[in-house]
Amino acid sequence: MDKDDRDYSNGEITVHWKPAECVHSTICYAKLRSVFDPVKRPWVNMKGASTDKIIAIVNECPTDALTFSWDDKKKQEESTEEIAKTEEKVSTTKVQIMENGPAIISGDFTLIGKRGVKLAQADTIALCRCGHSSNQPFCDGTHNRVGYKENE
């Protein structure tokens, strides 16, 4: 666990935030601002919505910067087993273009670079679209710092 990682609990679940993994896709606060508000401290308010709503948004996080675990150990075990079953059945690849942010690719894929070299084989990656990332072709969140806006 990184020293900057944070955990937030509502008694049912604990949301784990790993800021080093975050590429600021904005899904969390664009869809559930009552829980995820980057201008407030702490920025996660676990009382802002139902557990089901929080889980739904956390599951949309493209980089696993946000994850959750059940506080009840039995529920956590059941959830882990269900996820494993679902992952066995699903082998699709999804590409999401985030407004003023990266292209998020998730699924079963391999990324090949321009010289034919394998760059990544992962479940989820974020590709830079602003051109300012210091980790090209991957997003490092720089678009958030430089104020990148599409179609300017």
Specify whether 32 is located in the same domain as 45: yes
* Residue numbers of the domain that contains 117: 94-146
Mean pLDDT (whole number) for 56-77: 89
| Cβ proximity of 63 and 126 under 8 Å | yes
Give the closest residue to 107 by CA, choosing from 126, 89, 123, 83.
Answer: 123
CATH code for the domain in which residue 132 is found: 3.40.5
CB atoms within 10 A of CB 70: 17
- Say yes or no to pLDDT of 87 above 60: no
| Cβ proximity of 6 and 67 under 8 Å | no
Give the closest residue to 138 by CA, choosing from 107, 114, 103, 110.
Answer: 103
Residue 1 lies in a domain: no
* DSSP notation for the chain: --TT-EEEE-SSEEEEE-GGG-----HHHHH-TTTB-TTSSSSB-TTSS-HHHHHHHHTT-TTSSEEEEESSHHHHHHHHHHHHHHHHH----EEEE-TTSPEEEESS--EE-TTS-EEE--SEEEE-SSS--TTTTB--SHHHHHT--TT-
Specify whether 66 is located in the same domain as 98: no
pTM, rounded to two decimals: 0.67
Residue 152 lies in a domain: no
Count of structural domains within the chain: 2
Specify whether 46 is located in the same domain as 114: no
Specify whether 71 is located in the same domain as 11: yes
Specify whether 134 is located in the same domain as 84: no
- Tell me the average pLDDT of the chain: 86
Token pair of 102 as six digits: 């990266």
Alpha carbons 142 and 40: distance in angstroms, whole number: 21
| Confidence tier at 86 by pLDDT (50, 70, 90) | low
Alpha carbons 100 and 139: distance in angstroms, whole number: 12
Give tens-digit pLDDT for 93-119.
888 888 888 998 888 788 888 888 888
Specify whether 52 is located in the same domain as 35: yes
Alpha carbons 115 and 49: distance in angstroms, whole number: 47
- Say yes or no to pLDDT of 90 above 70: no
Specify whether 42 is located in the same domain as 55: yes
Q: What is the pLDDT of residue 1?
A: 73
Residue 151 lies in a domain: no
